[in-house]
């Protein structure tokens, strides 16, 4: 039996948030995996919400959903995109969750007679959860949310301080990710904030073994020397991570800084050199896409907040890698479509480049829904590739019901609670739900694909499993009528009760899915739906370009060519 102990890497952040701590953890995971180690990554969030599921995308960005139905921090999406190990509800917990458990224990009488305190009760619960998630791996990377010095992260810092003594000095390593800002007026990078941050961390009893310095451009060797001197870290353990043009370059960049070598030395692990050829290939494709770039209009209401579509934008990029092309996303505010019409807004959204496909992502609430419906109609009628995800499927069903199946008042009961034509309705088992947290239909469910459908062809298999996060569904009251007017239900739950995928026959690529395929796409294994959608967009672009080329060649504007072309 393998008796190697699990080694822990605790990653803290200094100076500022948003310096890419999550991505750094993910990239470290990728490097250690490439050395043949089994890795997992955890995110410990210091806020008091029990999970991010009830937080607005404006506050928190995307809510990432795991197979086992946990609503988690978006960093878990980065982890899954960089490492092979799948995330579960064990991989992310918050102060709120820790206190919830400890208070439940107290009410049960588990600490009867004792005073319940931050140390040891809260810190013990934090450690219990970390050990539980670390079972069976060689390396457990633990990212502490927030920045050192925040009041609310103190119990987490205390817990990881204790853990090094618990597991043995050679089995734990602290990595501090800091920002080294560039001060334009002095034309200099400044190390002082890093010095202060490390000093503060040391004050909690945590001595970093490696400092990763984020900076705009590459730092001079002298600066590394200075940080080494003032922060008590050997020179070769000061790692510079300047901004990269693509996040998928991070493993390569950190490897060039010898980060993985330093980590295995400090943790006393023997491994071979990592094989990073897959990452190199991805970066080469991103920098030099053989098939140019396509432009996708993403129609939603949080468009100014791209963090809320993190997995989706990445999945589209992955679809691009698979087609050797770059993917440009043009965010279109659905409310502007309500004011100015779909044709005008979408056809001009990307300037002279034009739009090659339209996508309506997941979302909640009525605001902007009419604009989304108009966008879907435009895609359907002009035969522009359309991909609807979750709410995007529901919107497509409403559009089809209204404009093809003759149900003029079709809507969703999420938008109109007392409609008699709710083609999208609340799911039966959601009807009695009166709490908001963790109560949607969440996580992976199986779906059976219809023979001869486009989706069956795309997936290449009869049964799939995809992740969900919704309360509403296509109402079975209207399914037959919609089917009779041409809407294809190409994927359903195994008992056929729940519509999971819709598609259209007389359209080059029109697919709506009730689940979120973006959560399962990775750069090394692009999701088949995104691969196929990008390929359809590429085809559309070719047709569009050849038709406008013909138009230019023709003397008369009435030469019979159409823009956009009608393709079947
Ligand atoms: N609001 C819709 C529902 O709850 C769609 C959810 C989503 O897009 N994730 O069913």
Closest by Cα among 463, 309, 497, 306 to 387: 309
Distance 390 CA to ligand 1 centre (A): 6
DSSP 327-357: EEEEEEEHHHHHHH-HHHHHHHHTGGG--SE
Q: How many CB atoms lie within 10 A of CB 69?
A: 18
Residue 228 vs residues 191, 211, 560: alpha-carbon distances, Å:
10, 9, 71
From the CA of 473, give the closest atom in ligand 1. 10
Q: Quote the DSSP letter at residue 180.
A: -
In which order are the strands placed within the sheet that holds 326-333? 326-333, 293-300, 357-360, 386-389, 510-513, 499-503, 488-492, 441-449, 463-470
Helix %, strand %, coil % of the chain (to 5): 45, 20, 35
Predicted pLDDT of residue 2: 52
From the CA of 389, give the closest atom in ligand 1. 8
Residues 6+ apart with CB under 8 A from 202: 232
Ligand 1 binding pocket includes 364 (Cβ within 6 Å): yes
Ligand 1: residue of 298, 470, 475, 516 to mutate (most ligand atoms within 8 A of CB) is 470
Ligand 1 binding pocket includes 362 (Cβ within 6 Å): yes
Q: How far apart are CA 225 and CA 236, in angstroms?
A: 9
- The encoded tokens of residue 454 equal 């486009």
Which value, to the nearest 10 degrees, does the dihedral of the CA atoms of residues 386, 392, 395, 396 take? 30
Ligand 1 binding pocket includes 467 (Cβ within 6 Å): no
From the CA of 392, give the closest atom in ligand 1. 8
Ligand 1 binding pocket includes 372 (Cβ within 6 Å): no
Predicted pLDDT of residue 56: 83
Q: How many CB atoms lie within 10 A of CB 437?
A: 12
What is the 3 state secondary structure string of 381-415? Answer: HHCCCEEEECHHHHHHHHHHHHHCCCCCCCEECCC
Residue 213 vs residues 16, 253, 313, 354, 549: alpha-carbon distances, Å:
12, 13, 27, 40, 50
What is the pTM (predicted TM-score) of this model? 0.93
Q: How far apart are CA 112 and CA 552, in angstroms?
A: 84
Q: Atom 9 (ligand 1): residue with closest C-alpha? A: 362
Ligand 1 binding pocket includes 391 (Cβ within 6 Å): yes
Q: Atom 3 (ligand 1): residue with closest C-alpha? A: 470
Residue 461 vs residues 448, 450, 456, 516, 530: alpha-carbon distances, Å:
9, 10, 6, 18, 16
Ligand 1 binding pocket includes 388 (Cβ within 6 Å): no
Contact, 479 vs 437, CB < 8 A? no
Residue 488 vs residues 61, 357, 449, 454, 457: alpha-carbon distances, Å:
33, 20, 11, 10, 14
- The encoded tokens of residue 540 equal 């559309």
Distance 365 CA to ligand 1 centre (A): 8
* Per-residue confidence in pLDDT tens, the chain, 568 aa: 456 899 999 999 988 887 899 999 999 999 999 999 999 999 999 999 999 998 887 778 899 999 999 999 999 999 999 999 999 999 999 999 999 999 999 999 999 999 999 999 999 999 999 999 999 999 999 999 999 999 999 999 999 999 999 999 999 999 999 999 999 999 999 999 999 999 999 999 999 999 999 999 999 999 999 999 999 999 999 999 999 999 999 999 999 999 999 999 999 999 999 999 999 999 999 999 999 999 999 999 866 677 789 999 999 999 999 999 999 999 999 999 999 999 999 999 988 889 999 999 999 999 999 999 999 999 999 999 999 999 999 999 999 999 999 999 999 999 999 999 999 999 999 998 988 998 999 999 999 999 999 999 999 999 999 999 999 999 999 999 999 999 999 999 999 999 999 999 999 999 999 999 999 999 999 999 999 999 999 999 999 988 876 665 554 433 333 233 333 3
**Cis peptide leading into residue 564 (ω within 30°):** yes
Cross-strand partners of 290: none
Q: Atom 1 (ligand 1): residue with closest C-alpha? A: 364
Contact, 40 vs 80, CB < 8 A? no
- The encoded tokens of residue 468 equal 């969900």
Distance 394 CA to ligand 1 centre (A): 8
Count of positions (residues) in the chain: 568
Distance 469 CA to ligand 1 centre (A): 7
Distance 180 CA to ligand 1 centre (A): 41
- The encoded tokens of residue 471 equal 């309360």
Which value, to the nearest 10 degrees, does the dihedral of the CA atoms of residues 123, 129, 132, 137 take? -90
The catalytic residue positions are 390, 516, 518
Ligand 1 binding pocket includes 470 (Cβ within 6 Å): yes
Predicted pLDDT of residue 553: 56
Residues 6+ apart with CB under 8 A from 264: 32, 35, 270, 271
Contact, 5 vs 167, CB < 8 A? yes
Contact, 132 vs 98, CB < 8 A? no
From the CA of 468, give the closest atom in ligand 1. 9
Q: Atom 7 (ligand 1): residue with closest C-alpha? A: 362
Contact, 48 vs 100, CB < 8 A? no
Ligand 1 binding pocket includes 469 (Cβ within 6 Å): yes
- The encoded tokens of residue 112 equal 């009867």
Q: How many CB atoms lie within 10 A of CB 568?
A: 7
User: Which domains does the chain show, CATH number per domain?
Assistant: 7-281 (3.40.50.300), 289-425+472-490+500-547 (3.40.50.880)
3-state secondary structure of 359: strand
Pairing status of strand 488-492 against strand 499-503? antiparallel
């Amino acid at each position: 039996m393998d008796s190697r102990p699990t080694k822990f890497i605790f990653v803290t952040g200094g100076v500022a948030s948003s310096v890419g701590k999550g991505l750094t953890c993910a990239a470290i995971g990728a490097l250690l995996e490439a050395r043949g180690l089994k890795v997992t990554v955890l995110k410990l969030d210091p806020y008091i919400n029990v999970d991010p599921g009830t937080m607005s995308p404006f506050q928190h960005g995307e809510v990432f959903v795991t197979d086992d139905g946990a609503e988690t921090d978006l960093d878990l999406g980065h982890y899954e995109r960089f490492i092979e190990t799948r995330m579960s509800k064990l991989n992310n917990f918050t102060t709120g969750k820790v206190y919830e458990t400890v208070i439940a224990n107290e009410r049960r009488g588990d600490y009867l007679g004792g005073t319940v305190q931050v140390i040891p009760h809260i810190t013990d619960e934090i450690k219990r959860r970390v050990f539980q998630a670390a079972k069976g791996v060689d390396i457990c990377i633990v990212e502490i949310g927030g920045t050192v010095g925040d009041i609310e992260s103190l119990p987490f810092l205390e817990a990881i301080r204790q853990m090094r003594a618990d597991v043995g000095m050679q089995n734990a390593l602290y990595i501090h990710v800091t920002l080294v800002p560039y001060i334009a007026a002095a034309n200099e990078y400044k190390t002082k904030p890093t010095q202060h941050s490390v000093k503060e961390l040391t004050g909690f009893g945590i001595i970093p073994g490696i400092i990763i310095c984020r900076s705009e451009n590459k730092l001079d060797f002298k600066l590394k020397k200075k940080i080494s001197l003032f922060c008590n870290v050997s020179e070769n353990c000061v790692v510079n991570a300047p901004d990269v043009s693509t996040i998928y370059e991070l493993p390569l960049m950190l490897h060039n800084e010898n980060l993985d070598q330093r980590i295995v030395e400090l943790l006393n692990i023997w491994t071979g050199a990592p094989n990073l050829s897959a990452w190199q290939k991805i970066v080469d494709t991103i920098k030099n896409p053989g098939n140019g770039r396509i432009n996708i209009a993403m129609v939603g209401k949080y468009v100014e907040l791209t963090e809320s579509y993190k997995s989706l934008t990445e999945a589209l990029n992955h679809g691009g890698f698979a087609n050797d092309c770059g993917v440009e996303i043009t965010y279109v505010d659905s409310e502007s479509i309500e004011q100015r019409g779909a044709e005008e807004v979408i056809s001009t959204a990307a300037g002279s480049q034009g739009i090659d496909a339209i996508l309506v992502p997941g979302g909640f609430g009525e605001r902007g829904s009419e604009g989304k419906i108009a966008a879907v109609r435009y895609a359907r009628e002009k035969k522009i590739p359309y991909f609807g995800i979750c709410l995007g499927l529901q919107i497509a069903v409403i559009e089809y019901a209204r404009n093809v199946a003759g149900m003029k008042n079709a809507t969703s009961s999420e938008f109109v609670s007392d409609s008699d034509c709710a083609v999208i309705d609340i799911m039966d088992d959601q009807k009695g739900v009166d709490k908001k947290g963790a109560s949607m239909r969440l996580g992976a469910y199986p779906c059976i694909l219809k023979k001869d459908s486009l989706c069956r062809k795309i997936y290449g298999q009869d049964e799939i499993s995809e992740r969900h996060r919704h309360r509403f569904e296509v109402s079975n009251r209207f399914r037959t009528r919609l089917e009779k007017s041409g809407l294809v239900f190409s994927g359903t739950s195994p008992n056929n009760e729940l519509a999971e995928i819709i598609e259209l026959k007389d359209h080059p690529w029109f697919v709506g899915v009730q689940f979120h395929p973006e959560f399962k796409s990775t750069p090394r294994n692009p999701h088949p739906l995104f691969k196929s959608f990008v390929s359809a967009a590429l085809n559309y672009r070719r047709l569009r370009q050849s038709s406008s080329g013909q138009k230019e060649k023709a003397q008369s504007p009435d030469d019979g060519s159409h823009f956009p072309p009608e393709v079947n």
